[in-house]
Every structure is written in C-alpha cells, then in structure tokens.
Structure 1
Amino acid sequence: MTDSLRAAHEHCQSLQDALGRLRDHGLGQVAAWGRQLAAVLPVGGRLLAAGNGGSAAQAQHLTAELVGRYWDDRPAYSAIALHADTSSVTAIGNDYGFEELYARQVAAHGRPGDVLVLMSTSGRSANLLGAADTGRAAGLRVWALTGPRPNPLAASADEALCIGSDSPATVQEAHLVALHLMCEAFDAAAGHHRPAPAAAEAPSVSWGRGLA
C-alpha cells in the first residue's frame, strides 16, 4: 500500500470513529438543538454563526440551509454568518482588532433569545471566546461545536458538542454532519417534513476495484 493510500485509509477511519462517537453520544443533543431552533426561528428569532477558516465555511453552510432550505421548500428563516460581511469584518478588524471581530457583530445583531453558534476545531480562538461572552451577556443561547474537551470555548458556551478527534479535518467533517442533523431535526420540529424517498434505482456508476 502506498503512503498516500495509507493516509487516505487513516483519514476515513478517523472520520468513521468520530461519527460513531457522534452517533452513540451526540444525537440527542443535536436533535434537541434542532427542536430549540424550531421554537426560536419561526417566531422571529435569529441564528448567528461564526468560525475561522474552514469553520467559517461551516458556519456559512449552516446559515445557507436556514435562509434557503435544507430538504424541501419551506419559509426562509433569519440566519447570519458573521464573517460574510467583508466591510464590517475589515472595519472591525482594523479599528478594534481581530479579537473583537465577532463580539461587536453579536452586540449589533443579537437579541435576547436568539441563538449563537460558534465553531472551532481547537476551541481556543480568541474572537470566538469574545463572541461567546458577549452573546451570553446579551441573553443569547450560545452553542459551541469544537474539537476534544476540555477547551475554553466549550466552557464558555451554554452547551457544547465536542468531537473527540485529534485531526482538525475530522472535526470539521463531523461538524458538518452534526449541522445537517440539526437542520433535519429543525425541519421536523417546525413541521417541514422530508418527502417520501423515490423508488430505488439500479446504480449507474461502476466503482471498480476496492482499496485493498
């Protein structure tokens, strides 16, 4: 087996292990988050989301699922990815520093009862810790998705889902699964049910040889 193929196997095994732990220990929390969102967003509440790097992309993925749709057509819900307003991000970073990047936006956009979702593989990003403190002080529910416990962001949040893996890539991949599960639970709790699956069709792609 080549080094690249061995690395690919190890990557897949790492993700499989992380998803197994999420399935065994985290599904109840993810479903509860979806139900809580269903009590907030349809009555005019808002979700704010933030992260850095790949976690920023995950945050924007979440807000897109809510403003657009996750599965089937449904009303649009208010959700903002705080890194996506480049003028605000660069102005705040320039005038107040990178550590204030998200806290100032939480102060501007957050209202009591809203939800703030913060994503970090390390759980140690200073700008997310500042956002968590500001959000809690303003009466928002602060949820963190992080890598392994213990970490400062998990401790600063009202609730945290921590993925037990040393690989940042695995943590981010498991976070995406958790976000999709949360959106699915939200849709179900808000009365937007997934349509019945179409009849199965024969596969049209040949995968060739395995990875032995």
Structure 2
Amino acid sequence: MVIQELIEHQKTIQKVIDSLTPAIEQACEMMTTTLSKGNKVLIAGNGGSASDAQHIAAELTGRFVKERKSLPGIALTVDTSAITAIANDYGYDRVFARQVEGFARPGDLFIGISTSGNSQGILNAFDTAREYGCQTLGLSGRDGGKMNGLCDLNIVVPSDVTARIQEMHILIGHIMCKAVDDLF
C-alpha cells in the first residue's frame, strides 16, 4: 500500500512537470508582481483547501525558507466570527466573496483553491475579486470545473484523486513562495 501511494504521487508529479511548468511559472510571476507592487494576496478554499490557503498565507506573513520582511498574505478561512456571521446573514456561498469585497483593492491577487473547480463559494469570490480589480489565480483539479471561465489563470492538476490534487496544490504553493523568497 505505501509503495503504491508513493508511486501514484510520483506519477502525478511527473504529469505536473510535463504539462504545468509554464502555468506554475506564470503563477509565480503573478504573486511576485503583486507583492513587489505593495499589493496583497487573498486566499480561500474549503476543507483541506482551507488548510492550504492558511499554509500559503502563513509562508508569506511569516517566512518560507529565508529571512525576509513579512508580506501581506491573508487566508479568508481563519476568522470564525466573520465566517459564521456572513454564512448566517448571507449564506455560506457568500463567505469568501463578502470578505473579498471588504479586503480587496485593485492590483491584489485572489487565489481560490478547489479540487473540483466547482465550489460555489470560491466561484462567487472569483466574481467579486474580478469586480474589484484583482488578478485571479485558481488551483483546481479534474477538468478545472467552472473555475476555468473565472480565473486569469487556473492551474488544473491532472488528476481525479482529491489527495493527489491537494498534494500538488501545496507543492505549487511552495514553489510560488520560493519565487517570493528569491525576489525579496
């Protein structure tokens, strides 16, 4: 079982290398350009993708590998008071869009993470982010879902297995954070 999981992970990584390297480079450029201009990165996802959003934001405000100044990365998944109030008053599918409305400014980057590419709350947040002049970056899987039509760039991990998709999302997040470290 263990060997089979590692082999499946390795196969997915090879597919990512073969098909997504230019898109990952573009995502690195989006993040570094956003931050170098003094703008912020807003990130959201549900479940495991919420954890990935928090992880990436923490790498920006804390550090990834090297010592550098703190950078504005905000996970929209951490404020339970805001999440529950918005869900109660507007519905769960508005939780991230409402926060984007409050935090986003033109030139910011919104990153939405959804393994299916069809999470309604993430889709709504993309719509709002675009209305507010943000660049939009998606991390998805399977066929990319509805996110394909809502993102400036949607990185679609070539897998139907949620665990493999999530593993690649955090790897891509780390690669973007490495690009940030290299710039700052």
Q: Please state which band the TM-score falls in when normalised by the shorter chain.
A: over 0.9
Q: Does 1:41 align with 2:25?
A: no
- Counterparts of 1:40-119 in structure 2 under 5 Å? 40-119=34-113
Return the alpha-carbon distance in structure 1 between the equivalents of residues 44 and 144 of structure 2. 20
Aligned partners of 2:27 and 2:153 also within 8 Å? no
| TM-score computed with the length of structure 1 as normaliser | 0.83
| Contact 1:144-1:161 at 8 Å conserved across structures | yes
Corresponding residue for 1:122?
Answer: 116
TM-score (norm 2): 0.95
The verdict on how the C-alpha distance between 1:150 and 1:59 changes in structure 2, with shifts beyond 3 A counting, is closer
Computed over aligned residues only, the root mean square deviation of the Cα atoms, in angstroms, reads: 1.2
Task: Provide the residue aligned with 1:132 in structure 2.
Answer: 126
Identity %: 36
Distance 1:157 1:132 in 2: 7
Q: Give the Å deviation of 1:58.
A: 0.3
Q: Structure 1 stretches of 5 or more lacking a match?
A: 193-212
Deviation of the 1:36 alpha carbon: 2.7
Offset, 1:150: 4.3
Please name the residue that 1:198 is paired with. none
**1:15 is the counterpart of 2:22:** no
- 8 Å contact from structure 2 (residues 30, 109) kept in 1: no
Measure, in 2, the Cα distance between the counterparts of 1:77 and 1:92: 27
Number of positions where the alignment pairs a residue of Structure 1 with one of Structure 2: 184
User: Is the Cα–Cα contact under 8 Å of residues 66 and 181 in structure 2 kept in the other structure?
Assistant: no
For 2:109 and 2:144, locate their aligned partners in 1 and report how far apart those are by CA, in whole Å: 22
Higher helix share: 2
1:153 is aligned, of 143, 147, 151, to 147
1:115: how far off? 0.2
Amino acid at match of 1:182: M
Query: Helix, strand or coil: the match of 1:19?
Result: helix
Runs of 4+ in 1 over 3 A off after TM superposition: none
Q: Deviations over 1:168-207 (max 9, x none)?
A: 011000111111111112222x2x4xxxxxxxxxxxxxxx
Contact 2:97–2:124 (CA<8 Å) still a contact in 1?
yes
